[in-house]
Amino acid sequence: MGILDSIEQRNTTLKSALKNAPDWLADALGGAPSPTGVRVTPEKALGITAFWNGVRIISQTIASLPLEVYERMDDGSRRLAREHPVYRLLHVRPNPYMTPFTFKEIRAAHVLVWGDSFAEIERDRAGRPIALWPLLPDRTGVEVRDGKKVYWTIVNGVKVYLSADRVLHVPGLGFDGLRGYSVLKLFRDSLGLTVAANEYGAQFFGNSGRPSGVLVHPGKLDDAERARIREEWNQLHSGLTKAQRTAVLWGGMKFEPITMPPEDAQFLQTRSMQIDEVARILNINPILLQKTDGATTWGTAISQFLVAFAKFTITPWLEREEDVLNYDLFTEQERGRYYCKYNVAALLRGDLKTQAEILEIERRNGIINADEWRELTERNPLPGGQGKLYFMPLNMAPIQDIADRPPENLPAPQRSLQRSTYTEERALAIRQRLREAHLAAFEDGARRFVRPEVQALRRAIKRAIQSGDPKRALNDWLDTFYPDHRQTIYRVMLPLVTALAAAVAEVAFDEVGAQPVAVDEFARAYTDNLAQRELNSSIGQLRTLIAETAVEVLEETLTTRADEWEEKRPGKVAANEVVRVAAGAARWAWQMAGVGTLVWRANADACPLCQRMDGRRVPTRGYFLAPGDSIGDGPDRLVATEPIGGPPLHAGCKCDIVPG
């Protein structure tokens, strides 16, 4: 448990201490007298409605933004690391008493008002963070001792020191890199003027809305008479409930005011000006402080407000927080691989109409699919994988294809031949872009069936090693586990196969001028074969290792293979399957369209074996290599073990096929 287990008692102590704070303590807390004569304490500053509203809207906006934990992958992509302890800490409970929203809101408010936000990091024995406890910024400090940062905090009157790795510290703008400037102390004069204006207004209306003054009597009054007249006057006119009463003066008395009326002292203008002062202090547009009597410099649309608010007010605070989280919550080995990031996309997109327009552009250009769009609006994916399709304009092509457009002054037969080549290259480029667009989804899908397989294998290894006959136990496990796992592979991959096959088939039908046909039957048959291929690969590898490995090193050998599968297999499966699905869907589409011949096309950086296949022609329902056929010579010679009707020729192959 962290040192903040006594949080309730500390809050009580703080309140009582602030009420009767001596001058030196008030100065330390930002509450020393300002030139207006009032002390600017945290309570008085937050009692300023504009200041309270500004702190609240910034802290609540930050607290409402999703704070994700990502892992950088080797291929340059990223994924949500939901299994990491930091993810649970930031998404479920930072500590037993606070929700993530409350924790983020408190930290943001602390740094906005006091200039610093502190939290104690409670760790387990392995050094992993398991709880975050906010520390009161007015009772916490940092200093450098022997070249190292050391933090201290006051708990129940006792000064407790904490090492730097136990404190999550976000400093605001400061002068030494250790502490941020206290807003209360730095802007004491400005905030003091606002407090003074508020108090003046309260006193003015407490005096029935009338200025202070004197009652002038022509005669001579003794002390008792003066006291009686003052008391009667105050009883008659003090307070708003007694305002506007008519005074009856006797004995020649008259009332003479001795202070300026509020309009002469520019009372209302002062209060309005102070809203602008608070807006400048918090770097926020006055309109967000509910000041609507003037035009904003950000324009009139709410989308402009949100974008400017996100960029200039919220983002700097988020980046301060992210820098600290990424260093303090991850181990030395995890830094750079794992990182925390706020998602401000909703703020930057503006209003609903602007958001829809941006998403429509991204959808139309193949950046997102329908399911990703629906996820952003808290909707479920479309059934049957329909929402996983990516679309892009067919009138787009690489610039080199446009540069190679055949000149119009060629003879008709030669121009027709070059147009045919251009169409083929364009279709190949479109299919390549489709494969690349679906690669990440395929890798994620492969990871979803590889991970449970690896976890089950590790459990089976432990049980088998503890049995009397490990090899027999493992072989029995293979026979019971993989029939059910085949259904897992099929269920996970069918929507992905259907989505890519539908996109490729649409292009393939259009390429030969045929009417598209639904790909569902092809996708089901292909996914069934895919599941069987993965099953055969896993069982074949494991049975070989079990048979050829000594019992003494069997656990280590199989565990190493499981680790390799978890790390590398999803990427390998995805790289091969997007090529296989694309070629298979195109081949199927051309069969349905009645195309008679297929031609192998090697990619630009193809290996020598694929280059030998380039230009090879076969009937649409035939095979480029039958079982037992070979290609190449020497050690690079490849012998087909199954019919090859199209790419990939080997692992990592990126070739394609075209209609002949």
> What pLDDT, in 10s, does the model give residues 201-219?
666 555 544 555 666 667 6
| Per-residue pLDDT at 430 exceeds 50 | yes
Asked whether the predicted pLDDT for residue 391 surpasses 80, the reply is no
Q: Which of 263, 262, 354, 272 is nearest to 307 (CA)?
A: 354
In whole angstroms, what is the distance from residue 34 CA to residue 30 CA?
Answer: 10
| φ, ψ (nearest 5 deg) of residue 24 | -65, -35
Lowest mean pLDDT among 48-62, 291-305, 558-572, 593-607: 291-305
When pLDDT is cut at 50, 70 and 90, the band that residue 431 belongs to is: confident
Are 441 and 479 found together in one domain? yes
**Which pLDDT score is estimated for 417?**
39
Mean pLDDT (the chain) is 80
Do 426 and 471 sit in the same domain of this protein?
A: yes
Same-domain check for residues 533 and 452: yes
Count the domains in the chain. 4
Written as six digits, the tokens of 276 are: 């602008």
Residue 335 per-residue DSSP state: B
Position 517 pLDDT exceeds 60: yes
Q: Is 477 part of any domain?
A: yes
| Long-range contact set of residues 510-514: C-beta below 8 Å, sequence gap at least 24 | 510/394, 511/423, 511/427, 511/659, 512/590, 512/593, 512/595, 512/659, 514/589, 514/592, 514/593, 514/594
Q: Which pLDDT value is given to residue 160?
A: 93
Give pLDDT, residue 236.
61
In a domain, 250, yes or no: yes
What pLDDT sits at residue 542? 93
pLDDT, one tens digit per residue, over 223-241 is 777 677 777 766 665 554 5
Residue that terminates a domain, selected from 548, 563, 595: 595
The string of pLDDT tens digits covering residues 276-312 is 888 888 888 888 877 766 554 444 556 677 778 888 8
Both 456 and 576 in a single domain?
Answer: yes
Highest mean pLDDT among 198-207, 211-220, 375-384, 543-552: 543-552
| 533 vs 78: CA distance, rounded Å | 28
Is pLDDT above 70 for 79?
yes
Provide the pLDDT for residue 428: 86
Q: How far is CA 611 from the centre of its chain?
A: 44
Cα(554)–Cα(409) distance, integer angstroms:
72
Average pLDDT over residues 382-399: 66
Is pLDDT larger for residue 632 or for residue 120? 120
Mean pLDDT of 534-539: 92
In this predicted model, which residue has the larger pLDDT, 660 or 494? 494
Compute the average pLDDT of residues 266-270.
Answer: 56
For residue 381, which phi and psi values (nearest 5 degrees)? Answer: -65, 155
Residues 473, 467 contacting (CB under 8 angstroms): yes
Asked, for residue 31, whether it belongs to a domain, the answer is no
Q: Is residue 326 part of a domain?
A: no
Helix axes 520-548, 412-466, angle to 10 degrees: 40
Compute the distance between CA of residue 318 and CA of residue 64 in angstroms, rounded to an integer: 12
533 in the same domain as 521: yes
Q: Flag whether 16 is in a domain.
A: no
Rounded distance, CA 374 to CA 557, Å?
44
Q: Please report the pLDDT score of residue 278 as a whole number.
A: 83
Model confidence at 87, in pLDDT bands (50, 70, 90)?
Answer: very high
DSSP 20-48: T--HHHHHHTT-SBPTTS-B--HHHHHTS
User: Can you give the pLDDT at residue 396?
Assistant: 55
Q: What is the pLDDT of residues 479-507, one digit of tens each?
A: 999 989 999 999 999 999 999 999 999 88
- pLDDT higher at 95 or 403: 95
Question: 106 vs 355, which has greater pLDDT?
Answer: 106
Give percent of the chain with pLDDT exceeding 90. Answer: 39
Q: Given a cut of 70, is residue 622 above it in pLDDT?
A: yes
pLDDT value at 56 more than 50: yes
How high is the pLDDT of residue 448?
92
Dihedral of the CA atoms 12, 14, 18, 24 (nearest 10)?
A: 150
Q: What is the dihedral of CA 370, 373, 374, 377, to 10 degrees?
A: -170
Residue 69 β-bridge partners: 340
Task: Check whether residue 368 and residue 424 sit in a common domain.
Answer: no
> What is the maximum span of the chain, computed from C-alpha positions, in angstroms?
132
Q: Do both 423 and 550 map to the same domain? A: yes
pLDDT at 570 over 60: yes
HEC string of 629-646?
A: CEECCHHHCEECCCCECC
pLDDT higher than 70, residue 393: no
Residues in the chain, total? 660
User: Is residue 628 very low, low, confident or very high in pLDDT (cuts 50, 70, 90)?
Assistant: confident
CB within 8 A of 267, min separation 6: which ones?
197, 200, 201, 204
pLDDT tier at 344, thresholds 50, 70, 90 = confident
pLDDT at 166 over 50: yes
Q: Give me the mean pLDDT over the 516-536 stretch.
A: 92
Task: Indicate the residue among 231, 258, 285 that finishes a domain.
Answer: 258
Does residue 579 sit in helix, strand or coil? helix
- The per-residue pLDDT for 563 is 93
Q: Return phi, psi of residue 153, to 5°.
A: -145, 150
Identify the domain boundary among 595, 627, 649: 595
- Residue 573: the pLDDT is 93
Q: Which has more confidence, 402 or 79?
A: 79
Instruction: Kindly state the helix (H) or strand (E) to which residue 315 belongs, with its residue range.
Output: helix 315-328
pLDDT at 557: 93
Token pair 């009667």: residue: 232
Domain co-membership, 502 together with 356: no
338 vs 428, higher pLDDT: 338
Between 46 and 412, whose confidence is greater?
A: 46
Are 425 and 543 in the same domain? yes
Mean pLDDT of 107-113: 93
Which pLDDT value is given to residue 579?
93
Mean pLDDT of 258-269: 51
User: Residue 209 in 3-state DSSP?
Assistant: coil
pLDDT attached to residue 378: 66
Residue 433 lies in a domain: yes
What is the average pLDDT across 233-251?
A: 56
- DSSP assignment of 444-507: HHHHHHHHHHHHHHHHHHHHHHHSS-HHHHHHHHHHHHHHHHHHHHHHHHHHHHHHHHHHHHHH
Q: Is residue 93 part of a domain?
A: no
Q: Domain range spanning residue 642?
A: 596-660
Clarify whether residues 559 and 573 are in a common domain: yes
Structure confidence at residue 175 (pLDDT) = 81
In this structure, the answer to whether residues 499 and 565 fall within a common structural domain is yes
**Average confidence (pLDDT) over 420-434:** 75
Of residues 117 and 395, more confidently modeled: 117
Confidence of residue 126 (pLDDT cuts 50, 70, 90): confident
Q: DSSP for 293-310?
A: SS--TT-SSHHHHHHHII
Verify that 611 and 582 share a domain, yes or no. Answer: no
Label each residue of 396-444 as H, E or C: CCCHHHHHCCCCCCCCHHHHHHHHHHHHHHHHHHHHHHHHHHHHHHHHH
Q: What is the pLDDT of residue 170?
A: 94
575 pLDDT tier (thresholds 50, 70, 90): very high
Q: How many CB atoms lie within 10 A of CB 419?
A: 13
Q: Is residue 239 part of a domain?
A: yes
Q: CA 437, CA 299: separation in Å to the nearest integer? A: 38
